[in-house]
Each structure stands twice: as C-alpha cells, then as structure tokens.
Amino acid sequence: MRPFKPATEPRDLNPTDKTRANHIVDRVLRLDPESAAQQLHDVLEKTETTGPELRRCFGPRIARLVKSVSVDQTVADDERRKRQLRNRVANDERATIAIFAADKISKVRELGPLPPRRLDDPAIRVKLDHYQASLEMLRRAAPDLALVDQLHTELARLLAHAVTRAQGAPERRS
C-alpha cells in the first residue's frame, strides 16, 4: 500500500487514487474538527504525511488536534513515547482528551476477534498495558467524560471474553 501523501500536482496520483483521495478529503472536511482529527491521526503516525501538510490541507485547528493525539515519532523508546503522549493528552483541552479516549476504544475493539491466546503475545500485552494506563490517565483527567466509562467497559469486556473463550465456555452473543 502506498503511503498517503497529499499530492502537490494532479499527476502525482492516478485517476482512481485521486478520486479516492478527494473523496476522503471531502468527507473529512464535512466533519467537525474533533471527528476529522480522530480520522486523521493515524495518517500522521503511520504515513509519510507531515504536520505542515495536514495544516495546509485541513487547517490549523484540525492539524493541532491531530498532533495532540499522535505519538512523537522522534522518541525511539515505544513505552516512553506512549507515556509522553498520555501526559500530553492529560494536560490538553477536553476535545483532545475525547479524541484520545475514542481512539483507545476503537483500538480495544480491534482486539476483540483475536483468539484468547493472542492476548498473551508480548506485542499485544504492550498495547493492553498502554490502554490500561490510558484509562487510568483518563479517569484522572476527565472522570465525567462518558467515553472514559466506555473504555473501561470495552477493556473489561475484552478481558472477560478472552477468559471465557480460553476456558472453553460457550460464547454469549449480545
């Protein structure tokens, strides 16, 4: 998959890619800034796209929100990078805290389909530890935010479901 990078000239994208990129940009621009930032933060973390490019394409408010919920890629140690992100979010505006919480809920839900034994994989354990530390930070920073309760529920559900599946009990559908 080719990394997303805003085209500087039309020839940078083939017609299909250009149509897809324009559709994504149009959709994001119709969102409120918080929703747009939530959609775009992985673009900053996982592609070659830069903060100034996001600012140019989506404006300063969205670019700032995206940066506020994105890890600092210049920090080499993953645990330190995530701890710094949590500390930064905890001291930022409520919109940043809400975007961060919604992102963690989404990430926890992505782990739901994994077989229970995968939750013991070191890489997954690191993620779960980060999500748990994120929940603790969110409880301190925004205890009244409904998304904090939702993250708690999703983490508890994931871990309980994994234990149930690991023990061979029949799965309950809700």
pLDDT of the residue at 167 = 67
pLDDT of the residue at 15 = 47
- 174, pLDDT greater than 70: no
Roughly how many angstroms between the first and final C-alpha of the chain, as a whole number?
Answer: 35
Higher-confidence residue: 161 or 121? Answer: 121
Domain's final residue, options 70, 95, 121:
70
100/161 same-domain check: yes
- Give the pLDDT mean for 21-45: 72
pLDDT tens per residue across span 127-136: 999 999 999 9
165/104 same-domain check: yes
Q: Identify the domain containing residue 20 by its residue range.
A: 1-70
85/161 same-domain check: yes
pLDDT of the residue at 11 = 40
pLDDT interval class at 166 (50, 70, 90): low
pLDDT of the residue at 102 = 93
Give the span between the Cα atoms of 17 and 10, in whole angstroms.
10
157/97 same-domain check: yes
139/104 same-domain check: yes
83 burial level (CB within 10 Å; 0-12, 13-18, 19+): middle
